[in-house]
Amino acid sequence: MKPDAPFACYLAKQIEIDHAWDLCERHLSALPEPLGALAARFLQSVADDQGHHRGYFSNPLAPPLLYLPLWLRDGLLGKRPELATIPLAPLLAGAMLGYFHVRFQDDLLDEPERGDPALQLLGNTCFVALVEACRATLGLHEAFWRAFDRAFLDMSRLTLAEQYAVRSDAPYTDALFEAHAGKVAFARIPVLAVAALAGRMDLAPALEALVGRLGVAYGIVNDVLGWPRDLRAGHRTYLLARAGLSQDDLARVARVEPPAERDAAREELATRLRERLYEGGLLRGALERAGEVHHEAREMSRTLDVLPGFDAFTEERITWLESLDSRLAAITLQRALARGRAP
């Protein structure tokens, strides 16, 4: 499969996703200047090689933020056929805008030197749009709004806890990593909104747990693909901690002047880490663990029996992970052959 091709299970919902994009783009284009121009620049920054930004939530790296609510709607239609008459596009557009708000914060926290502080102001308008979309869809549904508040509280506290962890030398355990992965709590909101619409907030604990397992799986893969960025940002992530990175290593690099020599020192450190990551099997082992967690999430979904698209999603995601693992295996072999030829 092409590494950047959307999953078939995502493409099956493209009409509804495009409708949500229509509403999202309409909101951003209606913002007064200079916010409108800032929004346009942001969309350009997340566009693909063809200049299209509508694949942002549909590429293989993207979690099923917009698809879980659609699958839940489909799974509940048998007992709640009136759900078919309720348009979900406004809610999905709100989720898109809410996600942008979260991303702006994350980018600034992760790489302050590269993030754009002005996007926080655009993020304010995105958050308001999310709240308005939920209010228009659900009114004053008390159980939903309690879950909404809890999701933002969990996202905020766990994101902050992770920020503290990656800047320390404290042991980064499996349990701590899995706890921090709960920072994806924002992803609960759109799927819980559909549960609330259907009068099935009894599903909330199981849906929240499912989102949590997906957070672990996606967090592992993000560490695998993003470790050079994390090293550049000075973050001792769970993966890099396992590879032997310490805060002393990062401090030594940070003290080097001028910048060109600092870059060389960082590359020397990266070279040392690559041996553990590639030859030491940490990258491929992490992908194997991500696959296991996806299987765990699939079993949770099957127990729920209200997410008809989840099995297909899991199969496609596992296939994508296997393709990524094959590429890592090829790189590892190339490194071994190069080392064997070295004098």
DSSP count for the chain of H helices, then E strands? 15, 0
> Residue 96: pLDDT above 90?
yes
Domain contains 278: yes
Q: Tell me, what's the pLDDT at 343?
A: 59
Q: Tell me, what's the pLDDT at 111?
A: 84
In angstroms, the CA 273 to CA 267 distance is 10
% residues pLDDT > 90 (the chain):
91
Q: Over range 323-334, report the average pLDDT.
A: 96
Domain contains 228: yes
DSSP designation for 266: H
Number of domains in the chain: 1
Domain contains 54: yes
Q: Tell me, what's the pLDDT at 305?
A: 96
Residue 18 burial by Cβ neighbours in a 10 Å radius (0-12, 13-18, 19+): exposed
Q: Tell me, what's the pLDDT at 49?
A: 87
> Residue 203: pLDDT above 60?
yes
Which residue, among 81, 189, 77, has the nearest Cα to 133 in the 3D structure?
189
> Residue 342: pLDDT above 70?
no
Instruction: Tell me the pLDDT tens digit for each residue of 229-272.
Output: 999 999 999 999 999 999 999 999 999 998 899 999 999 999 99
pTM: 0.95
When the pLDDT of each residue in the chain is averaged and rounded to a whole number, the result is: 96
CB 188 within 8 A of CB 158: no
What tokens were used for 148? 């909404």
In angstroms, the CA 258 to CA 269 distance is 17
How would residue 210 be classed by pLDDT, with cut points 50, 70 and 90? very high
In angstroms, the CA 59 to CA 61 distance is 5
Q: Tell me, what's the pLDDT at 338?
A: 86
Is the four-CA dihedral 146, 149, 152, 157 of positive or negative sign? negative
Q: Over range 28-56, report the average pLDDT.
A: 96
% residues pLDDT > 70 (the chain):
98
Range of the domain at 273: 8-341
Domain contains 280: yes
Q: Tell me, what's the pLDDT at 113?
A: 77
Domain contains 123: yes
Domain contains 1: no
CB 237 within 8 A of CB 227: yes
- Beta-carbon contacts of 156 under 8 Å, excluding residues fewer than 6 positions away, are none
Domain contains 3: no
The gap from C-alpha 229 to its chain's centroid, in whole angstroms, comes to: 15
DSSP designation for 6: P
> Residue 319: pLDDT above 90?
yes
Q: Tell me, what's the pLDDT at 115?
A: 78
Q: Tell me, what's the pLDDT at 4?
A: 78
Domain contains 2: no
CATH number of the domain residue 119 falls in: 1.10.600.10
Q: Tell me, what's the pLDDT at 1?
A: 54
